[in-house]
Chains A and B, each alone.
Chain A
Amino acid sequence: MKLSLRVILLLLLCGPLTFAQRKGYVIFSGKIVDVENKAPIAGASVFFSGSSAGGTTDSLGGFSVTIAARNYQVIARSLGYKYKTFRLDLSKNTQTTIELERSEQLLGEVVITAEKADANVNRAMMGVEKMSSKTLKKLPTLMGEADVIRSILLLPGVSTVGEGASGFNVRGGNVDQNLVLLDGVPLFNTSHLFGFFTGFNADMVQDLSLYKGGIPSMYGGRASSVLDVRVKEGDFEKWSLQGGVGPISSRILVDGPLVKGKTSLIVGARGSISDFYMKYFPNPSLAKSKADFYDVNFKLTHRFGKNQRVSLSGYASNDGFKFAQDTLYSWNTKALSFKHNALLKGDLSHNFTAFYSDYTYGIEGQKQGLEFLWKPSIIQTSLKEELSKDLGKYGRLDAGAELSAFTNDAGSFLPNSSSSKVDKFAMSTEHTREMAAYLGHSLPLGKKMSLDYGLRYASYQLLGPGDFYQYKLGTPREINTITDTLHAASNEVVASYGGFEPRLSFAIKLDTSFSIKIGFNRMQQFRHLLSNTMAVSPSDIWKNSNQQIPPQIADQYSIGFFKNFTNASNAVFETSAEFYYKNLNNVVDYVDGAQLYLNPTVETQLLVGKGMAYGGEFFLKKSRGKRLTGWISYTYARTFRTIQANENQKEANFGIQFPANFDTPHTFKFVLNNRWTNRISFNANFTYTTGRPITYPNGRYKIYSFNDLYDYAVATGIFPRPGLDQTSYTYNGTKYTYLTSKEIKELLDGYSTASFTLRNAERIPDYIRLDVGITIDPKPGKRWQGSWNFSIYNLLGRQNAYSVYFRSSTGEINQAKTYQLSVLGAAIPSITYNFKF
């Protein structure tokens, strides 16, 4: 491992030196900034007529492109801005600043746009979706909350177990396999209210990128996807205040310059208000319930000259849920990060990040005499250095290294009052270290082809101090197959894993609007969310890889066809068909009835198996149009797991392959944004999904454990015996009751339970939902900008099944019944008012 790290470092240092400027070419460099506040625009693109060359700005808004010397029509554009085009004579090296104007009030805005109308065709990468904050706010909402994760669920290849379930699933991956970065800081829980809403404020979001495949080498740590959410910076020129009031929560956001042109601050806060009306519910249990949440973000940015700046960001999120004063569920995240970006030379930029994050979750028991506290946590401290060098004609080189330390406290169970009679139960705190280095190169290969390739090496170590169990080899792991306990000293390496993660994307353009791409990426994951419930819960624990649980490794192969059309009125239609196959190694599963909480030998409850996913995503998007924009997608996707018995474990589902809980083969999604007037737009989205898999009973049986009395009565002749029953009739409005003879006997009845068939062999009914919304934008030019959003979630009022389940009652009458549960089974209207001044 040490050798390979050296190789990477050597590559990092030498890579940029292997290229030099060629004759007949000039360097066109400069910055792209916001016309109003002069803030640099990161991720903006520069293109040139008649050339396939192009550049993207770094986090300081800087770009540098090496291009053949001649006259060009230059086009600069960025998400949320009007594009700008101008002629430029590039006969010598040129530096310039391009100012872009925000596209807030414009007609013909985009719903989801890439860097350029045909960027989807041009770039080598595929499986990438980008969304601006404006798009986010235009989508119809649930209870008035613009929501990041609900919005990405509208993208092809993204699914969920059901409404209200926490997290999302990308191309057949588990919820914990998504790397969700909030300004570079990974989040371990992305939900408010158990999963109904996203854990961070959509107002703070600048834009987001979802990498389903073609994941660049700079990202790592989770097996399936990356959701990179960038947080806004404060305005450097003027102060503004914005906020909103909705039925679930209210929000406020303040931003402006602390030192004009130099230092800016943005602070956003959001808090729930459901507690306020909860107490008015007639049900006493509900009246005593609580459902609090809040989140706060801030970002302080300071510029040193033109080419350097530092920022300090913080994020805090908290949820508390209590039902009828029994048990309080809580989860919260606190994160603080520091960033330094600088343009070191004309074409080399650096980005240093240091952050600390603390995710604490758990349960507080408040039952009298049994008060307890259980609060597991994960603390991550990371240092990350990223370098990016523009190689002109030879593309762009990215390199970096990352070092992280994790403290994973499994949560001790503690008595929480002097009168509590529960015992303390100590659980261990595990320490791990992760190191990663990467190198990535985007290389144009002539006019027709481009290649993005990269390599990441990630290494993981589970460290002492602590007790770690060794299990007898050759028999399934159980508590009584423990052969030895390893008492590891502080920093002693208990288990280590590591490996290379190659990333590759290649595109070939068959004409200016048609390209074919292929891609491969490997991802490793050393930390696993243990959840054997249908949807993940906020009290699910994270478990580090150890000697028994290897890292999860996902390999994804993909191929995509991209074709764009432009019609007479300049509307752009993007179409694509992407196909993928994903191989998941070492996926975690569970023994039947697994005991995951407060279990020091939790590895005895875990099984390691294989997973696979494949699918095709067909996408038609009208990304640009005067009034109407939107997209339609159809996805065929399957995902399966196989947990076979081996020398160290038993099998699950008899070793037979079964569909994952979120396997939904057919998905049809439709998103529409229709601008009626300059200020009023209509939005709708529609989702059809095959019902998710479920385990159905194949029969029912009784356990005769409660029949002593019946047996006694039969044995002694008490049952059956002659008796008298009452009968009645009504005559002339009067009821007459009399006695008739009837045998006294009772039915032999036992404890009723269902016999189940193979795992996930059946499906719940299909899911269909239509949401609509109308957004009224503020009047242009006014200081106070008020906007309204009216939405109806689930307009059809369809009672979509969340699950179908089987319950038997106990007691005198022992019946088995079947129920269907709909979580949001009615049309839910909402109004939100947002303001800004």
Chain B
Amino acid sequence: MRHLLLFFCALFLLSSCETEIEDFQTQNVSSAIVVYGEISNVDGPYNVRLNYVSAYSPYDATQFSGQPITDANVRLVDGNGKETAYYEKSKGYYLSPTGFKGVVGEKYKLRIKLLDGKTIESNFQTINAAPELAEFSYAFKNATKVEDMRFPLTASIKDPKATEDFYFVKRQDFRQFLLTCPNPPPPPAPVPPCNCKCWQAPQNTQPYLLDDFLLSGKNLSLDLGQLPYEDFNDWVVQLDVYSISKEAHTYWKRLEDQRKLSGGIFDKVPAQVIGNLKCTSDPTQEVLGYFMVGGLTQKRLTVDRFNGIPTEAYQKLLFYVDFNNVRYKDIPLWNCKDAAFIKYNLGYSLPPL
């Protein structure tokens, strides 16, 4: 409903409708425990993170993560009662043993015992069959200006007809970047090797939530938008598509609704979103977060931004790259892996799928 607000701002000729309150602080009066973990039919290890809620102070980076909860006993229980113990890899970060893998059709729940004796359990949920991607492709959209040239992405999930299905999709982009090599030293010094092509993988925490309500059996399209044409090297888009329960879908939907509040006239009244975990030993202990169980399909699409581009567009790009200093020509670097000024610089290779 943000657009509604914008509309009324215009209608009533106002300069500013929304003001940021920069000094808003809350004391952390919540002692809630946050648990989040996932299990799927794709090779692990699977992780569970345990921590406390932090105070609501928007600009304090040290407050970003709540205090981790250490030394907990974290176990995964399947439908037959078989337990798999997780180990604590680092503070509050627990991993399933190597080689353990979820099975489609099997149900799982999480059982946690904290150091202080509190026990937390999730409900049983089943790994549904992994969803299929009906299409995952790209095209090139030419334009007069390089800034307007785009690679529109198309992706859709093939929804089975008979069942009521819910999907949760994570997207991870990997952008190949080029840096400029320094001028080689004059002979007779040997020319040092120059590695100027690396991968950057900006973090993205925006889920896509889909359901087949009124669209059962059809291809459910994902609105992935368009990639820019700022250089001619590859761009890889990875989609992790989970088939999840209605309950998990509702949980994420409520979080998304609340995260995107515009304070407008038709906003829902915010409320605590409780997931599928509860403290079985102490009902007054609030537990937030979710243990998500779902079939997973992972797929990558490599967008080739070099081959098949019209020559004219390519020539314009070369000029654009030079003019906009896309390749950091002022600070030549022998090895792109060392570039700390590129956020989420992964180095030469992509993580394995």
Asked if A and B bind, the verdict is: yes
A817 to B29, CA, bound (A): 19
Asked if B205 and A723 sit within 8 Å, CB to CB, the answer is: no
Interface contact B205-A699, CB-CB below 8 Å: no
A425 contacts across to B, CB distance below 8 A:
213-214
Q: How large is the interface on A (under 10, 10 to 19, 20 to 34, 35 or more residues)?
A: 35 or more
Which residues of chain B are within 8 angstroms of A725 by Cβ–Cβ distance?
Answer: 340-341
Residue of B nearest to A143 (CB): B12
Q: How far is the CB of A465 from chain B (nearest CB, A)?
A: 24
Bound CA span A759–B271, Å: 7
Q: Which one of B31-39, B111-119, B186-194 is at the A interface?
A: B31-39
Query: A195 and B265: CB pair below 8 A?
Result: yes
B55 on the A face (CB < 8 A): yes
B15–A706 contact, CB under 8 A? no
Flag whether B75 is at the interface (Cβ < 8 A).
Answer: no
Nearest-neighbour CB distance to chain A for B161, whole angstroms, equals: 11
Contact B19 A812 (CB under 8 A): no
Question: Quick one: which of A283, A707, A747, A819 has the most chain B CB within 10 A?
Answer: A819
CA distance A424 to B216 in the complex (A): 11
B11 near A291: Cβ-Cβ < 8 Å: yes
Q: Is the CB of A820 within 8 A of B18?
A: yes
Query: Chain A contacts of B264 at CB under 8 A?
Result: 802-803, 821
What is the chain B residue whose CB lies nearest that of A323? B3
Please name the residue on chain A nearest to B220 by beta carbon.
Answer: A421
Interface residues of B in 1-20 (CB under 8 A from A): 3-8, 10-20
Residue in A661, A756, A811, A819 whose beta carbon sits within 8 Å of that of B206 in the complex: A811
Q: Does B125 contact A (CB under 8 A)?
A: no
A369 to chain B, nearest CB (A): 9
B298 to chain A, nearest CB (A): 10
Contact A754 B56 (CB under 8 A): yes
Which listed residue (A593, A711, A737) contacts B330, Cβ 8 A? A737
**Neighbouring B residues of A285 by C-beta, 8 Å:** 3, 6
Q: A742-B340, A820-B21 are in contact. Are A537 and B263 (CB under 8 A)?
A: no
Residues of B within 8 A of A815 (CB): 58-59
Report yes or no: B14 in contact with A713, Cβ–Cβ below 8 A: no
Query: With A699-B54, A709-B203, A828-B13 known to touch, is A739 a contact of B331 (CB < 8 Å)?
Result: yes
In-complex Cβ contact of A749 among B11, B36, B205, B290 (8 A):
B205
**Is B80 on the interface with A (CB-CB < 8 A)?**
no
The answer, yes or no, to whether B215 is at the interface (CB within 8 Å) is yes
Q: Does A647 touch B at the CB level, under 8 Å?
A: no
Among residues of B, the one whose C-beta sits closest to the C-beta of A161 is B265
Interface membership of A579, Cβ < 8 A: no
B259 within 8 A of A: yes
CB neighbours (8 Å) of A712 from chain B are: 351
Max chain A C-beta neighbours (<10 A), residue from B12, B16, B93, B268: B12
Known interface pairs A274-B11, A593-B254, A811-B204; A702-B262 also in contact (CB < 8 Å): no
* Residues of A with C-beta under 8 A to B201: 709
| Nearest chain A CB to B340 CB, angstrom units | 4
In the bound complex, residues from chain B placing their C-beta under 8 Å from that of A816 are: 56, 58
Q: Which residues of B contact A716 (CB under 8 A)?
A: 351
B250 CB, min distance to chain A CBs, angstroms:
6
Among listed B61-69, B144-152, B227-235, B310-318, interface-contacting one: B61-69
Report the bound CA distance from A819 to B16 in whole Å.
12
Residues of B within 8 A of A217 (CB): none
Q: Is the CB of B333 within 8 A of A739?
A: yes
**Inter-subunit contact B271/A291 (CB<8 Å):** no
> A805 contacts which of B66, B263, B340 (Cβ < 8 Å)?
B263
CB distance from A745 to the nearest CB of B (A): 9
Q: How far is the CA of A700 from the CA of B17 in the complex (A)?
A: 25
A–B Cβ pairs within 8 angstroms, 15 of them: A535-B266, A592-B273, A698-B28, A700-B54, A700-B63, A702-B51, A704-B36, A704-B47, A718-B347, A737-B330, A749-B64, A757-B30, A812-B203, A821-B264, A822-B16
Known pairs A726-B331, A819-B19 / 11 extra A-B pairs, C-beta < 8 Å: A281-B10, A291-B7, A534-B265, A747-B64, A752-B64, A811-B204, A812-B203, A814-B64, A818-B22, A819-B21, A823-B8
Binding site for A on B (CB under 8 A): 3-8, 10-22, 24, 26-30, 32, 34, 36, 38, 47, 49, 51, 53-56, 58-59, 61, 63-66, 93, 170, 172, 201-207, 213-216, 218, 240, 250, 253-255, 257-274, 288-290, 292, 328, 330-331, 333, 337-341, 343-347, 351
What 3 A-B pairs come out closest when comparing CB atoms?
Answer: A723-B340, A805-B263, A821-B263
